[in-house]
Amino acid sequence: MTIPYPQKYMAPELGIGKLANYQNTQADSKAVGTNSIKFGQAVQVTESIAAPCDTGNFFGVALAKNYVDEIKFNDDKKTGEYRQGEMVAVLRKGSIWVQVDDDVKEGEYASVKTTGNFCAVSTAEDSTDKPIGIFQTSAQAGGLAILQINLP
Question: Confidence class of residue 71 from pLDDT cuts 50, 70 and 90?
Answer: low
Instruction: Please state the rounded mean pLDDT for residues 73-84.
Output: 72
| Domain assignment present for 1 | no
Closest residue by Cα to residue 40 from 146, 126, 120: 146
Q: 152 pLDDT band (50/70/90 cuts)?
A: confident
The DSSP line for 32-46 is E-SS-EETT-EEEEE
Residue 50 CA to residue 17 CA, distance in Å, equals: 16
Query: Is the CB of residue 85 less than 8 Å from the CB of residue 76?
Result: no
User: Is position 111 within any domain?
Assistant: yes
pTM of the model: 0.84
For residue 37, name the pLDDT band (cuts at 50, 70, 90): very high
Domain region containing 103: 6-150
Each residue's pLDDT tens digit, 109-148: 999 988 899 999 976 555 567 899 999 999 999 999 999 9
Total domains in the fold of the chain: 1
CB 149 within 8 A of CB 61: yes
Residue 22 resides in a domain: yes
pLDDT of 61 > 90? The answer is yes
Cβ(97)–Cβ(20) below 8 Å: yes
Residue 63 lies in a domain: yes
CATH number at residue 107: 2.40.300.10
